[in-house]
Amino acid sequence: MREEISPPKGFRDFPSEDEILRKEIFARIEKVFQKYGFDPIETPIVEKWETLAGKYSEEAENRLIWRFKLPYSDKEFGLRYDLTVPLARFIARFNPKLPFKRYQIGRVFRYEDPQKGRYREFWQCDVDIVGESSPLADAEVINVVVDVFEEFSFKNYTIKINDRRILREIFEKFLGINDYSTILKIYRTIDKLDKIGKEKVLLLLKELNLGEKVLKQIESFIDASKLSNEEIIRYLESFDSNEIKVAVEGLKTILDFSKKRERIRIDLSLVRGLDYYTGMIYEAIVEEPKIGSLSGGGRYDDLIGIFTGNKIPAVGGSIGVERLIDAGLELGIFKKERKTYSKVGIVYTKEVDVKKVWEIADYLRSKEINTFVPFKGYSRILDGIRDLDKRGIKFALIVGRKEMEEGKLTLQNLVTRERFTVELEEIGKIVKG
């Protein structure tokens, strides 16, 4: 019997050389989060269906959430679709001291059509600030994202920002479209701008029967996204709307408090797909190297209230690391350099007492040196060196007949090919240096 060896479609295995790199990338992102005073929490992979229902979008709810019943339960469950709705539930449950700043790095699940860079199980790295309505919190989230980009030395990136309140006001008040589902459809269509271009967006909008005048206005609105930040701000300040004024003040604060003001671009065509956003929204794109959209998020001042019963403002950002890692590997920014955490491997021949070899390994391990010991002696030292080399282990500690007779050890650096005659106690200094 030979069984199917692939994971389900859209799911992945990570061999050690991938996993070691991924762990390093996660650790670097985590360090940025911690620098800003965010602390970790964890929530389950499985949530009650009721927790997830009605929070995302119709499309998510009807096609994308991993939703199921078990044979032994009449309850409905879902695998978490993001880390934000679980956070909102968490806040209601634990009522932490506000403002509450948490980060979370973990898997989320979407029933997507798998394609390059898009999976059914993928990792999000999220920071959120709960209980703070000041645009300073928005600015902090943006700065964390900037710092992550700087951490990986990206040269050319843009953080597009917008505000849902601007969109809502312009559509409702100035275009007279009060039907939320139509507004959502318009949002979703505009959201495709980057992917399908302006002409196709206008064609799709036409199908919504909005009328010639409204269409023209949306077009000019889309065109406004080409303007400079200062021009857009002036354009927005011309609207007689308190909501828009507040939103514009927020955008100005974000620009003012940003670590990299020149990287931030107000983009009125940015809408983002999830229903729960209420204020500032952003999306971050890395143009050099060409990686694409790496991070998105925004303000969701109503989501937590669904769970707590009273309104608690919140803002957050999510870094999708799959594209960072996939594209980074392809572009050579990241290399699968380490196949192993082992620093030393012991090469010994068949005539050497295995007990002695284990004692040497124990000593090295007690000195915090990760040590790989083959379970059998090699026929020839060279076989052992080749084996360790293939495993990516940098140092071979050779224990052959000669070494046993002379009571000395040989340490070989498998990269430089240098050999040293060493005492056991000296090894730490050499392999760590």
Q: From the list 74, 199, 375, 433, which residue makes contact with a second copy (rule: CB under 8 A)? A: 375
* Radius of gyration of the chain measured on its C-alpha atoms: 28
Q: Rule CB under 8 A: is residue 94 a binding residue for a second copy? A: yes
Q: Rule CB under 8 A: is residue 40 a binding residue for a second copy? A: yes
Q: Rule CB under 8 A: is residue 92 a binding residue for a second copy? A: yes
Q: Rule CB under 8 A: is residue 45 a binding residue for a second copy? A: yes
Instruction: For the chain, report the end-to-end CA distance as a whole number of angstroms.
Output: 50
Nearest CA to 352 out of 344, 360, 363 is that of 360
The amino acid at residue 154 is F
Q: From the list 82, 128, 132, 267, which residue makes contact with a second copy (rule: CB under 8 A)? A: 132
Q: How far is the CB of 46 from a second copy (least distance, A)?
A: 6
* Interacting span for a second copy (CB under 8 A) from 48-56, 267-275, 404-412, 415-423: 48-56
Rounding to the nearest 10 degrees, give the CA dihedral for residues 120, 126, 132, 133: -50
Q: Rule CB under 8 A: is residue 318 a binding residue for a second copy? A: no
* Residue number with CB closer to a second copy (237 or 362): 362
Q: Rule CB under 8 A: is residue 137 a binding residue for a second copy? A: yes
DSSP H stretches of helix in 116-228 = 135-151, 164-169, 180-191, 193-196, 198-206, 212-224
Q: From the list 28, 59, 93, 200, which residue makes contact with a second copy (rule: CB under 8 A)? A: 93
Interaction with a second copy in 276-315: which residues (CB under 8 A)?
306-309
DSSP state at residue 228: -
What are residue 194's DSSP bridge partners? Answer: none
* Residue number with CB closer to a second copy (48 or 290): 48
Q: How far is CA 238 from CA 69, 232, 241, 244, in A?
A: 53, 10, 9, 10
Q: From the list 391, 414, 428, 430, which residue makes contact with a second copy (rule: CB under 8 A)? A: 391
Q: From the list 24, 59, 69, 178, which residue makes contact with a second copy (rule: CB under 8 A)? A: 69
Interaction with a second copy in 6-35: which residues (CB under 8 A)?
6-8, 11-16, 18-20, 22-23, 34-35
Q: How far is CA 309 from CA 56, 150, 289, in A?
A: 19, 39, 45
Q: Rule CB under 8 A: is residue 432 a binding residue for a second copy? A: no
The pairing of strands 344-348 and 292-299 is: unpaired
Q: How far is the CB of 241 from a second copy (least distance, A)?
A: 26
Q: How far is the CB of 69 from a second copy (least distance, A)?
A: 7
Q: Which residues, at least 6 apart from 4, have a Cβ–Cβ distance to it below 8 Å?
A: none
